[in-house]
Amino acid sequence: MAEETFTACSNEVGEGPRELFIVEGISAANAALIARDPKSQAVLAIGGKPMNVDRASDKEILNNDKLRSIVRAVGAWCGDAFDLDSVKYDRVLILTDGDADGVHAGALLLLAFDYLMAELVAAGRLVNVRAPLFAIDTDQLDQLVYAYSAPHRERIVEKMRERAMTGIDVDYLKSIAGMNADELWRVCLDPDSRVQQVLKREDAERARQTFASLASSNLSTPDSSQ
């Protein structure tokens, strides 16, 4: 099976809402395909982390299979040839796992879009969907409560204890692939309930500065083996 796989939605362009979700790996894609609205939501799986476009040549970027699969799926080419009016989707959504690796992958995808399709980003049509990191259950609630970081989890648990809730159980969500279809739909895919952020070119610049700062820090750290 190819590392990059694409599954279209059934709505034709101009005949209804259309969204493209970009996820990491086949397992995440399979989970999203079960949970999604097949009429309006297409899914593109990319295998492994995307390249850091800021550390690659133009030739390396344009020859990269993951990035080429994104360009094909969006359908409006890239760079100077990019045509916003030809984009096949109302919005493109980045959906990665909620852990540090997933956040890293999402930032790399943002940089890639800023390089390949800056006009799409500027138009507010690139969206980041936040996947939760913890699911919290109690005896008193019919639905799980989700936390997006360890401090967020602690605040929720503290409030539950203040309200004398019992049977508090916290599960770490290693991957969106481990979520059942109903919860994945409600938390990550449903436009009315997912936690999302419209990404801007300023966000890409902040990500770029963060990567540059981390690289500089790594270079300046003495080698402990010496």
Do residue 161 and residue 200 come from a single domain?
no
Same domain, 15 and 95: yes
The pTM is what? Answer: 0.91
Which residues, in sequence order, are CB contacts of 188 under 8 Å at separation 6+? 32, 35, 95, 129, 131, 176, 179, 194
- Cα–Cα distance, 210 to 64 (Å, whole number): 23
List the domain range (segments joined by +) for residue 95: 5-131+175-207
pLDDT means over runs of 10, the chain (226 residues): 80 96 96 98 93 95 95 96 98 96 96 98 98 97 95 97 97 93 97 97 95 70 45
Domain count, the chain: 2
Query: What pLDDT shows up at residue 217?
Result: 64
CATH code (residue 20): 3.40.50.670
Q: Is residue 197 part of a domain?
A: yes
74 lies in the same domain as 164: no
- DSSP letters spanning 130-179: PPPSEEEE-TT-SS-EEESSHHHHHHHHHHHHHTT----EEEE---GGGS
Predicted confidence at residue 215, as pLDDT, reads 72
Residue 215 counted as domain residue:
no
